[in-house]
Structure 1
Amino acid sequence: MTSATAPVDPRRFAAGTAGGDEAPAREPHFRPDIQGLRAVAVGLVVADHVLGWPAGGFIGVDVFFVISGFLITSLLVRERSRTGRISFRAFYARRARRLLPAALLTLAATTAAAWFLFLSGRFQETVHDVVWAALFSANIKFARDGTDYFEAASAPSLVQHFWSLAVEEQFYLVWPALILLAFAAATVGRRARPGGGFRRFPAAALCVLLGAVTAASFAWSLHATAASPVTAYFSTFTRAWELGVGALVAVVATQLQRLPSLPAAVLAWSGLAFVLAAAFTIDEGTAFPGGAAALPVLGAALLLAWGGAPGGPGAQFALGSTPAGFLGAISYSLYLWHWPVLIIAGTLLTPDSVIVHAGVIATSLVLATVSFYCVEQPVLHTNWLLPSHRSVDAARARPVFVRARNVGLAAAAAALLGVGAVAVGPWSDSGNARAAAADAVAAANRTAAAQGMPSLTPLQQDIQAATLATEWPEDLEPGLDELPGYLSEQWGQGCLHVTEDNVGKCLYGDPDAEQSAVVLGDSFAAAWLPGLRQELVGKGWSVQSLTYGVCPNITAPTLYGGQTFTDCIEHRDWAIEHIVSRPPTLVVLSHSWRANLRPGADVGATYRGGLEEVVRTVQASGAKVVILGAPPGADSLLTCPTSLNGPDDCLRGPADTFASQMASEQEVAAATGVRAIDPEQWFCSGGRCPTIVGRTPVYADGLHLTAEYSERIGPDVVAAILQP
């Protein structure tokens, strides 16, 4: 799964309503194969989120959209055919009865967990997200965050999976009215042609109107996915066609059922194959939804049309099996619970271990089961929001409440045992952690001096002390609660993405200074600027920023949102031309390996070869060129700190790609005659990289330096850059 510090791909938070229709199992229209299809969809999404496999498991949400469109449209059409009208009040009351209780419980529990575990800043962010989720607007909020570069490495929201619930509810604000409109058109057509037969006109009118809406949404999805992938992913308008496909299947279901059993079964099995194939062939690099979503949507449509055919996948050994039926029944609650459980587990425990994976899945299943039996089912067997003439049969409701009581008591007993185990567990008192760490470093320094080894610099002493700290300092600057939104404020002034329009604004120091430096690269290069600016401008230099986010110093094209990042290509050409036409004294090149390359590209070779070409081109200006490696990274202060841990719980080594990148840059330096600087000495001690050094957070997000730490190490960095 995507780590807490990596750019967040929105598709990994695709959690549809997982059965958010109103048809309980006792209805005569209940189909076990659809319940089994829900189980497949929820299993794919949970496996993708928890295990990271299959990579395209997020397509399960598309399957849920198709199921929802099918079931809701079937209910509305039957109501209109049976009563001659559609009750909007009854429709939205059914939606509220079905969705709200479990959703509100999850939101309340998530808020309580965030209050207990997280520090103030992240807790406030969680509350903000919960409000958006409760108002069925989460997709709008997360689309905005996803297109905001400054939010790319922020902590994943505990309720980010609510976006798809918002899409459905926004869709259903207009869907009943469209169906009424189609019936009205059919009535007019029947009156105009009395011999045409009543039945044909409603079906035809529904197909024409719903088909037009579906086609328009699909066309927009193709366009929007190419133009703005993140926004398209969350948009109701780009997803409406998926629900529309399910709706069209519902309208023509009677005609589809006339197909003979053998071809119907073959088509149904093909549909299941399409869904599974999509999960294993689509991945995070696929432009989505767009045309790629057609494969799982088509597969779900085929299953809805013929999944119950004799010999089809709805058989008792497949989608119609008891385990599949149970998983499908609890799928809505499983969707609601699995994501916050996963994020909280990743915060408290070592991620990506078999034990954590198993624990997350087991805990999610338990919570979903309790939610289903103790919340979902009891509410559906009460009179809440029901009209007086449709009161619930008390005799049928009684077993539901008995089961809810038994499940609730068992869950409460298990919870008490867990709380008791934690309460009696060993807890240590770390005492004055900062003083103890400083004493340990001083002792190590004295030992090194006695052995004739060079003493640690003050910065290295502070770094080593930070690796021993066990308590979060209260006097951090900036404070932990200031880090959410820190990068937005730091770079929001406009000098992250430097172009011809703002290049003058991003020049620091005297423009006529005798010595000048240019910083070229991505956001990691921009994060060095506070320290470089402080030291070089103080020495009489001018410093020009030519950075651009997610745009490394390589000649190969990169991808952004699954598409070729043409803005980066144009920026790089312009920036190099700017350097060549106005030769500076010094050019500092810095970038990370985080930009996406074309599928199948050799990352090491591409970055090495591309950087060498850029270095040679810049060398033509006559400027001194220095390659300054990107920082090694650390655990994110946006996600790691909790009320239950300390800095020692957030220690880790350099990023996995750090050693390879440094070796690659040394090769480029040797080939071109420039100097490459490995920055690890300013961040790590003994292979461990702390998140704070002294009173200063090192990174704003585990990746990009805080301005304060950049300034703190500025003298060391500039001394290394200016070294002859």
Structure 2
Amino acid sequence: MPLPTPATTVESPHKPRTRQYREDLNGLRGLAIALVVVFHVWFGKVSGGVDVFLVLSGYFFVGSLVRRAEAGGSLNPLPAFKRVFVRLFPPIAAVTFLTAAAALVLLPRTRWAGLADELTAVLGFFQNWQLALTSSDYLAADGSVSPLQHLWSMAVQGQFYLVAIAVVLVVASCVSRTRPELLRPTLTLVFGAFAVASYTYAAVMSGHDQAWNYYDSAARLWEPSVGALAALMLTRWNITRVRAWPLALKTALGIAGLASILLCGFFLDGAEQFPGPWTLVPTLAAIALIVSGAGNKTWTAQVLAHPVLSQLGSFAFALYLVHWPILVFALVVTGRPEAGFVGGTLIIAASLAVAYGLRMAVEVPIERDAPARRPILLASVVGAAVIVTGMFGWQAYVGSQSTGQRAADTLDIPTHPGALTLTDGVSIPEASMVPSIFDAPLDLPITTLDGCISDFQQIDIVTCTYGDVNADRAIALAGGSHSEHWITALDELGRSNGFRVDTYLKMGCPLVAGESPTVSDVPDCAPWSSAVLDRLAATTPDFVFTTASRPSPDGPGDVTPEAYVEVWHELEQSGIQVLAIRDTPWLHHDGVPYRAIDCLATATSADHCALPRADMLSDINPAWEAIAELSNVQLLDLSDGVCGPDLCRVTEGNVLVYHDSHHLTASYVRTLTPELGRQLGSATTWW
């Protein structure tokens, strides 16, 4: 989410106001931050306030640069860079330092390494790229979300400022002495080209890779560029012309803009649609308010200039910085998936209080060049240095505690029997848990390491072969990551029993028929599944191995979605047999997922991380009823190898069961191989 520009980026409301000062636009900034906070806290959505900030940042910042250049100011870029640093860095450094301190107290140590990476990325103004590379989703907050995730947009805005400084100063140096009247026209052409190219890129990428597109600076550049164009074109002469417009026209334009901004978050899904074409709604709405309020005060300009909105706009930057970590840490403490009305009200009140304190303690002394200005700047730099030093220190410690290898490759079954303690009654010797809490994220299926699974945005089918690659008998492993995590056992069984395993896998996408938004929210899941079913009908493997159930969305236990059953019907019509395996439990507390390693990092006993089996699995496999009219489906159920009679634990037989909140470690699946082999042999009659 883009940062609201600090109130003094162009002109401080505490300084004498000139006729260029727009109280209504300061109020628009206040309205935008109000929408951001309210939609985050109470609705778990991205609002149009995000894009209003980007437009205003381009409008104010480029307008300020151009006025300086026209007034004959220095063309040395260093003072401009310094002004940006002084305005942005101290508040950001203060919030990151306080967030890091709170994280040390409230978050398990298994989350510190990821947070350390984000701290460095925030302070280095490149967090948007760090999050894009890790495919983080910016949706509703809960206790498992990073308290710094919202600051990726600070990087986008900071990057735009640097580009704008370079562009304005280069153009100004070229034309100021010879043809100064060409400064605005030339800059209008440059920023217009930026806007067109960036908008086109964003529109294309929104249908190709939305997760990357959301964070990509290139896809966001058009929004502040549109604001820059407004600043370049709204000269005093043009404002005079705007004054001559009929008041009814300007009022209608302002009302349309204000209504669009207020309603945007209710009707558009910013996380899925921005910064693509639908972003024109809040962007053009902001431009409408900029233009309609120029010169004469329209009704909407008077509303936006209300003292409440204006005051809120004066510390919008601070409020943006603090509201998200306060929300996330509140959910960590309460353990709830959402704040609720009362809790949300308290979070908003706390955010307002902390933001006001941050503004008065950090921003105001810097703006007014108070005696405390230099100590504040020094403290921000020292605090940032402490954060970065601590990050490298912790990363070094984690590295010393990690083997850096996939534990499944070297697992010693006699000392680490894992699931065999449940399925075969093997005794548990004294040994440390494998993988460790620091090695767990590395204990992944070989298909992930080989790149043999389509990612969230990829619609192309990726196929690899495991097991006995030369065998005639074939099992097609198809579906999402919950099909994928069985590859460790299937690969071993294939090599020892003479069958190959052909994989058809896509992240977050179980094999479904038709549109199934309740099963998967991955946009390309349905077309990808359809293409896989066509491929399976053409290749006719002996069996298709896929999941048979998933957690119930309405309560305890698990269910078999109708979309799965439709797939089995289609495969039956193609003459293909199905091996449908019951899904493994997903770890969560009251709807909030938690990682096994996070729980183990703070729990006094591994049993404290366990969940009642009755909450995770229905008494009877729900797929039995679903296959009553099907003759081509054989059910596999390894629930007794994952859960005991009463509890589903996160560690069994000295082996960690989950590498996150719902995917089995490759090591644990290795220990499930004998039981899967028994059930698979019976179902296929191959051995």
* TM-score for both structures, normalised by structure 1: 0.73
SS for the counterpart of 2:225 is helix
- Is the counterpart of residue 45 in structure 1 residue 19 in structure 2? no
SS for the counterpart of 1:99 is helix
What does residue 373 of structure 1 align with? Answer: 360
What does residue 459 of structure 1 align with? Answer: 422
What does residue 393 of structure 2 align with? Answer: none
What does residue 291 of structure 2 align with? Answer: 305
Q: Distance in 2 between matches of 1:75 and 1:374?
A: 26
- Is the counterpart of residue 627 in structure 1 residue 580 in structure 2? yes
What does residue 100 of structure 2 align with? Answer: 111
Q: Distance in 1 between matches of 2:446 and 2:563?
A: 30
Q: Which runs of 5+ in 2 are unaligned?
A: 377-418, 552-558, 589-593
Contact 1:217/1:237 (<8 A) preserved:
yes
Q: Calculate percent identity across the aligned residue pairs.
A: 24
Selected match of 2:630 from 660, 672, 675: 672
What does residue 709 of structure 1 align with? Answer: 668
- Is the counterpart of residue 243 in structure 1 residue 216 in structure 2? no
Q: Distance in 2 between matches of 1:225 and 1:661?
A: 43
What does residue 696 of structure 1 align with? Answer: 655
Question: Which has the larger displacement, 281-290 or 676-685?
Answer: 676-685
Q: Distance in 2 between matches of 1:488 and 1:98?
A: 47
Deviation, 1:608, is: 4.2
Deviation, 1:99, is: 0.6
Q: Distance in 2 between matches of 1:24 and 1:675?
A: 71
SS for the counterpart of 1:44 is helix
What does residue 319 of structure 2 align with? Answer: 334
What does residue 350 of structure 1 align with? Answer: 335
Deviation, 1:285, is: 7.2
- Deviations along 1:510-562, one digit per CA (max 9) or x if unpaired, are 7448x654422221111122234445655565544443334432233678864
1:565–1:214 Cα change, 3 Å: farther
What does residue 23 of structure 1 align with? Answer: 11
Q: Distance in 2 between matches of 1:492 and 1:154?
A: 29
Deviation, 1:680, is: 4.6
SS for the counterpart of 1:506 is strand
Q: Distance in 2 between matches of 1:492 and 1:247?
A: 45
SS for the counterpart of 1:313 is helix
Matches within 5 A, 1:439-454: none
- Is the counterpart of residue 525 in structure 1 residue 513 in structure 2? no
- Deviations along 1:362-405, one digit per CA (max 9) or x if unpaired, are 433332222111112122233xxxxxxxxx6x7xx99xx9xx9x
Deviation, 1:634, is: 0.8
Deviation, 1:334, is: 2.0
What letter matches 2:284 in structure 1?
L
Matches within 5 A, 1:245-324: 245-253=226-234, 254=236, 255-256=238-239, 257-258=242-243, 259-283=245-269, 286-307=272-293, 309-315=296-302, 318-324=303-309
Q: Distance in 2 between matches of 1:519 and 1:722?
A: 16
Matches within 5 A, 1:83-482: 83-146=72-135, 156-183=145-172, 190=179, 198=181, 201-253=182-234, 254=236, 255-256=238-239, 257-258=242-243, 259-283=245-269, 286-307=272-293, 309-315=296-302, 318-351=303-336, 352-354=338-340, 356-382=343-369, 458-459=421-422, 475-482=432-439
- Deviations along 1:167-218, one digit per CA (max 9) or x if unpaired, are 1111122212323455567658858xxxxxx5xx544333333222222222
- Deviations along 1:619-639, one digit per CA (max 9) or x if unpaired, are x14x4x221122221133278
Deviation, 1:109, is: 2.1
Q: Distance in 1 between matches of 2:465 and 2:214?
A: 34
1:682–1:381 Cα change, 3 Å: farther
1:501–1:688 Cα change, 3 Å: closer
Q: Number of paired residues? A: 602
What does residue 588 of structure 1 align with? Answer: 545
Deviation, 1:70, is: 0.8
Q: Distance in 2 between matches of 1:489 and 1:111?
A: 35
Q: Distance in 2 between matches of 1:587 and 1:564?
A: 18
Contact 1:555/1:611 (<8 A) preserved:
yes
Q: Which runs of 5+ in 1 are unaligned?
A: 1-13, 192-197, 383-391, 405-455, 466-472, 595-602
Q: Distance in 1 between matches of 2:173 and 2:328?
A: 48
Contact 1:546/1:575 (<8 A) preserved:
no
What does residue 637 of structure 1 align with? Answer: 595
- Deviations along 1:58-95, one digit per CA (max 9) or x if unpaired, are x3221110010111122112212223544422222221
Deviation, 1:651, is: 5.0
What does residue 538 of structure 2 align with? Answer: 577
Selected match of 2:507 from 536, 539, 549: 549
Query: What is the RMSD computed on CA atoms of the aligned residues?
Result: 4.1
Selected match of 1:508 from 448, 454, 467: 467
* TM-score for both structures, normalised by structure 2: 0.76
Question: Which has the larger displacement, 335-344 or 485-494?
Answer: 485-494
1:527–1:720 Cα change, 3 Å: same
SS for the counterpart of 2:438 is helix
Q: Distance in 2 between matches of 1:549 and 1:488?
A: 13
Question: Which has the larger displacement, 159-168 or 545-554?
Answer: 545-554
